[in-house]
Structures are given as structure tokens and as C-alpha cells.
Amino acid sequence: MASSIFNAPCTVPAVKGKNYFGLKPAVNNDLRFDIGKTTSIIGCPKRVFTVRASEKKDGPLKKLGLNDAECEAAVVAGNVPEAPPVPPRPAAPAGTPAVPSLPLSRRPRRNRKSPAMRASFQETSISPANFVYPLFIHEGEEDTPIGAMPGCYRLGWRHGLVEEVAKARDVGVNSIVLFPKVPDALKSPTGDEAYNDNGLVPRAIRLLKDKYPDLVIYTDVALDPYSSDGHDGIVREDGVIMNDETVYQLCKQAVSQARAGADVVSPSDMMDGRIRAIRKALDAEGFQHVSIMSYTAKYASSFYGPFREALESNPRFGDKKT
């Protein structure tokens, strides 16, 4: 399975001396599914299960046999597949003074916090560690092709995503950015699904971090995948994008992604003032270590057409020139 790759990090060494191009096939499939009680969704039986990527089980990866529509219907109905829990925050040693966080908007140590992050930002060196692999995910079990991006797929978050990350790490690419295709039934004018802690992106982050703790995960911060209008912000009845109210939602989205384990949040919405507001929101929740990679310009570029098709997030009306 192929997809496009663009710039960022990793400590995983590149594979040398192999006669293949692209991503090396993953060798081990070690997802385990703990099957529980059966419930019924739109007339079809469904298993409630817990996904634990760190536990090994012999045999091929097993799926439940649900199609994309059934997987999405299950999530919409509230039968959300479980993912690994949010890991507890490390405790400080006894005697550590309780002090408020310093009001710092700039913390350079964020980019030096781990070997993987340092490898991402070190200069005068180009290697697979400097690439970020964009991956499109959905609620389905099967990988579905993206018409506007030949060779690229929407990956099932429990199966194809984990397998593709394994292939990327085999060739030294240890950074990914996630783009979700959200069920239409979960979209709304205010994009509230964007900060659902049990939504598609937070679940995928927790699953990947459970299996690959040193994987560097970037996330997209924007409302368009979650908006019933397909715009990056809340749309007033006269068609105007509401800036400050949108920024409020973006802050909650960024905090939710950081809580799940994201290393870098990437605002692509182009709202005014969102970087400072997101930084304050992250710091207020104790996520001073989480970095921000903001888009400098995007607006109505046609280069984003294939991405919007991949996420089914094209504007229902108007354009993105403002």
C-alpha cells in the first residue's frame, strides 16, 4: 500500500541492503482482540472488544467482518470500540514543591525532549527521520482507496493504520500525521466531535502509542473534518466564519489530542490568534511538553483538493478564501 510522504522525524534506523522500494512489509501482526458480549447494530450482530496492540497473539489479524457503513453506524450509535486507556502522568518525586506553571509561550526544550524529537529537528542532515508520513484513517476495518490520490488509502484505524506504521518504521520513518474521515452523522455546525476524547483520532493515538511509545505523532487541528458545513470554522447564518468562537473549539480539540498522547498539534484552520490561544490552553492543562506546528498559509489552495476528498470535508458552499 502506497501513500505520499512529507517532511519530519525518528530514531528508528533506515533499512539498508534490501532490494525493494517504498515501505517494507511488516513481519509481525500482534494486535489482540478481546471479544466480549454481542450487541445488535442496524440488524447486524457486533462484537464489543478491547484493542491492545502491546499484547501478542498467534495467527493472522482477525476482523469482525463489518463493512464501513456498519463500523460507522456502530460508532454513531455509541458502540465505540475500546482503545488503550490514557496512560497516567508520571509522578514527581516526594518533596517536589507545588508551584504554578511559568507563563512561558516559548519552551525550546519541547523540541529536545526525546531522541526521536531531537532527530526530527536537528539540522544539516536529511534522512527518513526528517519525514512525516500523512495517514488517512476511518472507522472501517478495510482499507479503501482514495480516488483523488491514486495509490493512497483510508486506513482502518485498528488494522491498516498499525500495519502501515510498522512498514514506515522499518525504513526509518518514525513520524506520522493523522487525518480522519469522520462519519457524517457525527458532524455538526460547531464541530463538537473534534474534541471527543473517545473520537477516532484520540483512539488511534492511544493505540499507536501503546504499541510504539517512541512514535512521533502529529495531529491536524481544524474543524472541517467535523463540520457539517465543511468549513474550517463555525459559519454564521450570513456565511461569515466566526473567528474567535472557532478558536475556542480548536483549543479544546488540541487539548483532547494532547491528552491522548499527541506529540505535536498542527493547526491548519487559518484562524487569527489560534496559536497563542492553543499554547495557553495546552499549558493550562499541563501539556507544556506538546509542540505546535502551525500552517503558515493555506486558504483556498487547490493543492488541498485531494485531501478534502480523502476526508470527505469539501465545503458545502462558498470557498475558503477568507
C-alpha cell at 81: 470500540
Query: Which of 79 and 14 is assigned the larger pLDDT?
Result: 79
Q: Which CATH architecture has domain 6-25+104-311?
A: Alpha-Beta Barrel (3.20)
Determine contact, residues 170/176, Cβ cutoff 8 Å. Answer: no
Q: Where are the beta strands (DSSP E) in the chain?
A: 6-7, 32-41, 44-52, 131-138, 144-145, 153-156, 175-180, 216-221, 234-235, 241-242, 264-267, 291-292
Residues 256-266 have a mean pLDDT of 97
Give the span between the Cα atoms of 245 and 241, in whole angstroms: 9
- Checking if the pLDDT of 50 tops 50, the result is no
Q: What is the pLDDT of residues 68-106, one digit of tens each?
A: 999 999 999 999 988 889 999 888 888 888 888 888 888
* Res 193: pLDDT: 96
* Res 187: pLDDT: 94
Most confident range (mean pLDDT) of 38-47, 95-104, 215-224 is: 215-224
CA nearest neighbour of 153 among 141, 161, 145, 162: 145
- Confidence band (pLDDT; 50, 70, 90) for 23? very low
Can you name the residues that pair with 220 across neighbouring β-strands?
A: 266
Can you name the residues that pair with 265 across neighbouring β-strands?
A: 219, 292
Give the domain ranges of the chain. 6-25+104-311, 32-76
Give the span between the Cα atoms of 67 and 143, in whole angstroms: 11
* Res 38: pLDDT: 42
Residues 139-159 have a mean pLDDT of 92
Residues 152-177 have a mean pLDDT of 96
- Confidence band (pLDDT; 50, 70, 90) for 15? very low
- Checking if the pLDDT of 209 tops 50, the result is yes
* Res 61: pLDDT: 53
Name the pTM for this structure. 0.67
Give the span between the Cα atoms of 252 and 195, in whole angstroms: 6
Mean pLDDT of the chain: 80
* Res 316: pLDDT: 60
